[in-house]
A = this chain, B = another copy of it.
Amino acid sequence: MSSHSLDSLFKPRGIAVIGASENPDKLGSIMIRSLSNFPGPVVGINPKGGEGLHTSVAEAVEAVGPIDLVISCVPAPATANALREASKAGATSSLICSGGFAEAGGEFDKYEAELQAAIDETGIRVLGPNTSGFFLPGEDLLACFVPSVKLLKPGKISVISSSGGVNLASCYSLARLGQGVRLGVGIGGAINVTATEVLEYLTEDEATEVVALHIEKVEDGPRLRAAVEAATRKKPVVALVIGRTDIKEFARRHTGSLDTSWELTRSVLRNAGAVVVDTEQEMVESAVALTGKRIPPKKNPQASFVTGQAGPGMIIADRLQTDGVDLPYLDSSIVDAIGEILPPMTHFKNPVDTGRPAPGLRKIIEITARDEQLDVLGAFAIVEETLNLTTEFVESGVTHLPVLASVDGPSETISKAMEIANQQGIPLLVGPTSLAVGIRALVEDSRARYAAELERIEGVAATDSANLATSSGASAGTTTPADGVTLIAEARHDDIFRTTVSLRLGANRTPAEHATPVFKGLAQRLITAVADADEINRFGALSEANWQPVDQVLASLAKTLEENPQTEQVSATLQVSKNGVIVLDSSLS
């Protein structure tokens, strides 16, 4: 049975809450209250009936018309049959908030198997289990048992989170920055609807201008990579990946498991075009920064910012440089022009320190933005009632560059600034470090897309190494100095990204024709070490014509080294699959 589109989940004609009751404190009753402003019919289902309740979805459909979405508030053992009944009545999607399936372990595995069987039979889409749900404030569709989501405003940013809790925390955090939400969704157990599929769906959603993606678990690495690559061509994706340290035992009890490497997942996302961040606060701030104009794909976008106070400016500059963002010296003509406005005691080669927020601020912004080497311009100031930083941007007439402001000051002043910034369409953050986080997001969005465009080397040879995904995460590494070449090769094998080989070429700048055979030999040995005995023969096929894409990659790495005299190391992570060999990740250092 083919599965239905996510339209029935996110744009349902009618909604039924299964397991509703007359008790106002029960989950079902809370859910019906959350949905009270939904423009279509919302009905409660209880086999025993009750005031305002229907005894079945079929009965409800007869009374109110089509029901596309059912929200199950019945316990795990009753869920599978409830979905079968709903499907017969025409429902094509469902939300399961409760836990007690595979993540609980032991006896609960069987409820998950029953649920999976019902999905296979009916094709019904299932979001969850074990999530607080989803909400589209702009459509008055609040399928979430947390009452206060009614305070969230419609917005441009969609949040896709592995966790219902992180979805809520991220959306409330957006609200504190004056931002609304397009779609906020907690994926939960991901038995059927995955984060990747929602990302594919939102890529086509015009109202979603930026996607914030929180990942605990990757179901299908290559599909996620392709989805991010497709999405970032149209809109920015900011990604937070959990699992830097060992939290597997906890994770198994939540959304299932962490089956692949944190570093690899981040590398893959980054190389597919996403802005990868370290904390949920950075995720939210980066998403806000990206609601404005984007920097076009570039190898190394150049940044500048104007600051009302020197100390916060130094914090911002230090963080930007730590994060690898270039603050080039402004052109001397620009510096001279600024020097005619500012007193000699401030620094204005980049960043531009105005000493304090002065009436000349908008003029300084306008002059700085004239520097043609710049790709993004930020501004920070501690604002008083008399100074609105985004208004300074608007009055400066700078529209050709992506701009970003960050302010600090009393809460009331900041709230007013956010309101005005939203009207003006200029992204606004709070605090010094946040401006650095935001500028870095704009720069990374550009760089990552550049990398994704440049390094997309499609596989050319179909190999028979398809079924490698079966053996589990062993890994092996070695370092072999040979003929003055520093080579580092590492192979890894996991269920999510399949077999990956990481190759690094040292600074000795050996010609590609020399390094390549050594590399290949190493890579082969490593793949052999990782693969099961049965699979060694399959890999054998790679030693012939199928190495062609690897040759390409190695030649390109060697060329990059030659062209970049300061670069000490280039590396690439390749993925070997039935579609050939593709580059998952490559980097300079």
Contact = CB atoms under 8 A, between A and B. Distances in A.
- What is the copy number of this chain in the assembly? 2
B345 A314 contact: no
A489 to B, nearest CB: 24
A128 interface: no
Given A148-B409, A311-B161, A314-B254, A322 B245 contact: yes
Given A169-B382, A250-B347, A250-B351, A244 B318 contact: yes
Contacts of A166: 309, 311-312, 315, 432
A321 B165 CA distance: 20
Interface string A421-441: 000000000011100000000
Interface residues of A, number: 78
B321 A146 contact: no
Nearest to A282: B433
A411 B175 contact: yes
B254 A100 contact: no
Contacts of A193: none
A508 B152 CA distance: 59
A308 interface: yes
A477 B161 CA distance: 47
B242 A318 contact: yes
Contact of A169 (B254, B255, B408): B408
A321 B245 contact: yes
A362 to B, nearest CB: 19
Nearest to A100: B345
Given A173-B408, A251-B314, A345 B433 contact: no
Interface of A: 99-100, 103-106, 108, 130, 146-148, 151, 161-169, 172-173, 175-176, 186, 214, 216, 242-247, 249-255, 279-281, 308-315, 317-319, 321-322, 343-347, 349, 351, 353, 355, 382, 384-385, 408-413, 431-433
Given A146-B384, A168-B409, 9 more contacts: A108-B344, A151-B412, A169-B432, A173-B431, A242-B318, A243-B318, A247-B314, A254-B311, A280-B432
